[in-house]
Structure formats: structure tokens, C-alpha cells
Amino acid sequence: MLETEIIKKGDDSGNGTLVKYTTSTGAVIKAIGVPQSWKSTLGPTWCYVIEGDDLTLVDPGCYGSMSYLEQGLEELGHSLSDVDRILVSHGHMDHDGSCPPVIRKSGAELWAHEIYGFMLQADRGDVEMGWRREVQGYEAFEHSETMSMVMEHRKLNRELTLDHPVTDELQAGGLTFYYTPGHSPDELCILYDQVLFSGDHILPLITPHPSVAMSYNSFKATLPSTYQGGNEIYGLKALLTSLKRMATLEGDITVLPAHRAFHRGQFNPIGVSRATEILEHHRDRCHELTEVMKSGPKDLVTITREYFSDREVEAQNFFLAFTEVMAHIELMQESGDISTTNGSAGGKVWSNGLGPNVLINWNGTDLFSAFIDGL
């Protein structure tokens, strides 16, 4: 277990908080609660600081929030220009958003999974926009403040160079990198001493949003040849496979997540067994979706609206709920629990066999459960 000490108190969800963690072997990790730059109930991104001969940051935090990172570092006795190395858990705006300005000031090396380097260059927004625009309710998300920030962030990130492309099980400087795709195709968990920096792969209190398997078709051509053989990096199946893998890590490991390490005034310590809880949550969600589908064939938008509460699908939240459902339906297609029919002749069908007018029929089976066990 870790010894935990609050160096500076911030707000109730950890924004502006500084924490010192000490492992039983005496390794010290400090954490800065870097607020999001948009209105969010998520709480901060936890930026972890390793002070050795070099100064290493794990996830510098949200695009637009660099001043909070800078202030936190100063309170720990460092300046931004002292940073030698940035490790990125995955290429989402709330994690790598401050990379460009921090690297500009410090000349720090950038470490991330090798796919991150390819994703920096891919026009991710444009590639996925086509099918997304066919989803009723997407408009609110597309025109949200968050989306416009995502676009600005991607534009700035295109200037980044990935100095150290990481692959699975790389060991360097006392760190072991595990490739854990699913929430994002470039997600890393990073082991340091008895601590696993889990990015968004393993979170306390909340579950990481799965990507959709269909995205693999969109980005396959931009990926290194070792990833061209079949999809193992996008979707719920990839996420569950990665969760199983981290659950088997041995030793007295404490997980230091990028979110919710502290929430409503309390720390939420977790170990790698939290990965199994998240996996079971998704198995339960598959079961719950069969309950929605048992009354007859429905399209994805209808299933989403019936499954989630009104609050969860209001305005810009809708699209996240929609892709969450899609990720589960994709898995159940693969396990053989679902068949589809095109509801209107000539209606769009996406590369995963789903689409705006495609009706989803549950076959009455629960094969997904054995399928998950077999991953």
C-alpha cells in the first residue's frame, strides 16, 4: 500500500491539490490535480511527477490548463522548463493537451505508444465525421464547446514529434510500459516501483468509455503494418482483453489513475483487481441491453434512449451514450447474440453492419458471457 500525504489542499474533487505518495520501498511520486479547461463533473486529470536525476511527468493534463500545471510544479519546487520527459498515457485532450506548450518551454522528450505518433498525423475528426453525422442527435455533440477544443488541440498536436515510440513491455529507466488498448487505441499503463499509472484504463468509481471496433476500419491504413492483421486495438473486446491482462499483474501494486483518485474529499485507493470489476460492469451492461432488446427489433438510437436515463442522453451527452451502446452491440454481434436487418431499403449500413436504419434483433442467447470469459 501507499502512504498518502496531502501537500496542498485544493477543492473537494482534487482540483489544485498536491499529493505525495510514498511506496513501501521508499519511492516517492507526487501528483498535481490539474483542472479541466471546460465545465466538467469529471474532476481533475492527475498529473504524476517523478523526481529523480531527471524530472518526469505522466500526463501533463488538459488542453488550456497549462497554467495550473505550472503552478503545481512551482509549488513542488520545479519550473516548467525543468521537465525532462513527458509520458503520455493516451492521446486524449485531457491527458496530452499541455504537451505542445510544455515541450516548447522545456525541450522535454515525448514518450507514448507508437500508435500515438501515427494518430498525431491522422485527421481523426474528419475520418469519423462521415458516419457520425448520420446519427440523429450527433449535432449537439459536434457543435459543443468540448468538440471545438478537441479540434484545436488536434491541430496543435500535429506539430509534436514522438521522440520515444513505446511498444508493449518496453522497460526503460525503471519503468515498464504495458500496451492496454480499448478506451483509446494507444492506451498505456506504466509500472514504476509498486505503482501502476493507469491513465484512463483503470479508474476508481467510474468506468472508461470504450472505443468502437468500427474505428479500426477507418484508421487501419494509417497504422504500422504490425497492426494491419486484424482489429485488436479498438472496441469493447480490446478493452476487456486489456483489463484482463492488467488484472493478472502480480505483486503489491497500487493503481494511480488519471481521474477520480480523489473525489468528494476522499481518496479512492484501488489495486489491479479494479480491472476485473470494470470487466464485470460491461458483462452486466450486455445483460441489461438484452432486457431492452427483448421487446423486439430496434435501431441503435432507440436502444440508447431506452437504456439510458433522460439526463444521460441529453444534448451533447447523447453521442457518448450512443457509442457506449454501440461498443456493446458490436461485441454481441461477434459473440453471435445479435442479428441485423436493414429497416429501410437503400438505408446506410456502416462497416460494422450497423447503421441509422438498421434494426437490431437479439437472438435470445447470452453467448457474450462465455465469449468474455474466453478473451
| Residue numbers at the binding site for Zn ion (CB under 5 A) | 94, 200
- Cβ contact 274:202 at 8 Å: yes
Query: Which residue, 200 or 337, has its beta carbon nearer to Zn ion?
Result: 200
Q: Rounded CA gap, 128 and 35, in Å?
A: 28
Q: Which triple of cell numbers denotes residue 110?
A: 515525448
Residue 239 Cβ, how far from Zn ion at the closest point, in Å?
A: 14
Residue 45 Cβ, how far from Zn ion at the closest point, in Å?
A: 6
Query: Which residue, 19 or 358, has its beta carbon nearer to Zn ion?
Result: 19
What is the helix (H) or strand (E) element at residue 12, kind and residue range? none
Helix extents (H) in 229-314: 236-247, 274-293, 300-307
Residue 258 Cβ, how far from Zn ion at the closest point, in Å?
A: 5
Query: Which residue, 42 or 140, has its beta carbon nearer to Zn ion?
Result: 42
**Tally of CB atoms within 10 A around 265:** 10
Query: Which residue, 185 or 355, has its beta carbon nearer to Zn ion?
Result: 185
Q: Which triple of cell numbers denotes residue 213?
A: 471496433
Query: Which residue, 94 or 193, has its beta carbon nearer to Zn ion?
Result: 94
Query: Which residue, 27 or 320, has its beta carbon nearer to Zn ion?
Result: 320
Residue 97 Cβ, how far from Zn ion at the closest point, in Å?
A: 10
Residue 14 Cβ, how far from Zn ion at the closest point, in Å?
A: 14
Candidates 338, 343, 326, 329; CA nearest to 362 is: 338
- Cβ contact 57:44 at 8 Å: no
The span from the first CA to the last CA of the chain, in angstroms, equals: 30
Query: Which residue, 95 or 285, has its beta carbon nearer to Zn ion?
Result: 95
- Cα dihedral 62, 67, 71, 76, rounded to 10, equals 40
Torsion sign (Cα): 200, 99, 69, 67: negative
What φ, ψ does residue 335 adopt, rounded to 5°?
A: -80, -10
Beta-carbon contacts of 195 under 8 Å, excluding residues fewer than 6 positions away, are 2, 21, 23, 27, 29, 253, 254, 255, 256
Residue 292 Cβ, how far from Zn ion at the closest point, in Å?
A: 28
Query: Which residue, 140 or 206, has its beta carbon nearer to Zn ion?
Result: 206
SS3 73: helix
Sheet containing strand 254-257, edge to edge, reads: 171-172, 175-179, 188-192, 195-199, 254-257
Identify the residue whose cell numbers are 442527435: 137
Residue 77 Cβ, how far from Zn ion at the closest point, in Å?
A: 27
Q: Rounded CA gap, 117 and 222, in Å?
A: 10
Q: Rounded CA gap, 100 and 305, in Å?
A: 39
Query: Which residue, 94 or 96, has its beta carbon nearer to Zn ion?
Result: 94
Residue 41 Cβ, how far from Zn ion at the closest point, in Å?
A: 13
Q: Which triple of cell numbers denotes residue 104?
A: 516548447
Residue 274 Cβ, how far from Zn ion at the closest point, in Å?
A: 16
Query: Which residue, 193 or 200, has its beta carbon nearer to Zn ion?
Result: 200
Residue 293 Cβ, how far from Zn ion at the closest point, in Å?
A: 30
